[in-house]
Amino acid sequence: MKVFKLFVFLLAGLLISGCATATVMKVNDPGFRSTRKPIGIYICSSSEVADDNDLRHRAYVINVASQTLSNILKQQGYTAKNLNVFVPHEKVFKKYFGSFYIDENAVAKIAKEKGCDHFLIAYYSYTNDKLSTAAMATALFGVAGMLVAEMLIDGRNATTEDNLNVHSEVSLYGWLVRTEDVSVISRTYLPLISYNEYIEKNGRIKEPISKNYYDFYQSMTEDMFGKL
């Protein structure tokens, strides 16, 4: 199955996804509604266009998202099983230039072993960092584009108080999958959620960056999955 493969058409400058339209995940599947078995959770994260291999940021996102999703499921009367603990990110997620691939079968295998009839996959794709922007410019305009990007873009990302990179926009993709036949029950997509707009909208300008960034990821996760 290739339901989780996304191509980015760089010429248009847009993310194209034919498999994710809703922004809030709502599930009517009776099997999911009646299950008493744990719901598996698997989190993926990367930069949007070209992989920046920021392992610290990836681990941070996986931690925040796993905690938040576990709390959401608990509030809805379910229990959660963190599947990231059992299968490495690189075994499930592949990042190519302008595209990504998530191996749902690898997640389904471990979900079945851990007694999960269903599992959630959430993918956080962040952008507006130097590498992704330079990669886009290079793809569109070659070496000239790369040189212009180098001149126009500050080489440093914003950082939290403990030097974690902060990215200004995040797209979030979600899938709920039935383990037995690896079929997608529900899928969702939140495009380019702005960190700066979140700060301004919620009046959090004076809050520590580290708290704001944590709450930013927590908020988008709750927005997508809070009504399961």
The pLDDT score that the predictor gives to residue 190 is 92
Is the pLDDT at 14 greater than 90? The verdict is no
- Exposure string of 63-95, with b = 16+ CB inside 10 Å and e = fewer, is ebbbbbbbebbeeeebebbbbbeebebeebbeb
Is the pLDDT at 131 greater than 60? The verdict is no
Phi, psi of 194 (to 5 degrees): -90, 125
Domain count, the chain: 1
Is residue 103 in a domain? yes
Is residue 133 in a domain? no
Q: What's the mean pLDDT when you consider all of the chain?
A: 81
Out of 125-129, 131-135, 221-225, give the one with best mean pLDDT.
221-225
Q: Quote the pTM value.
A: 0.81
Is residue 197 in a domain? yes
Q: Provide the residue range defining the domain that includes 172.
A: 19-127+159-225
Is residue 221 in a domain? yes
Is residue 146 in a domain? no
Is residue 72 in a domain? yes
CATH number at residue 62: 3.40.50
Give me the percent of the chain exceeding a pLDDT of 70: 78
The pLDDT score that the predictor gives to residue 205 is 77
Paired tokens of 38: 């744990």
Is residue 93 in a domain? yes
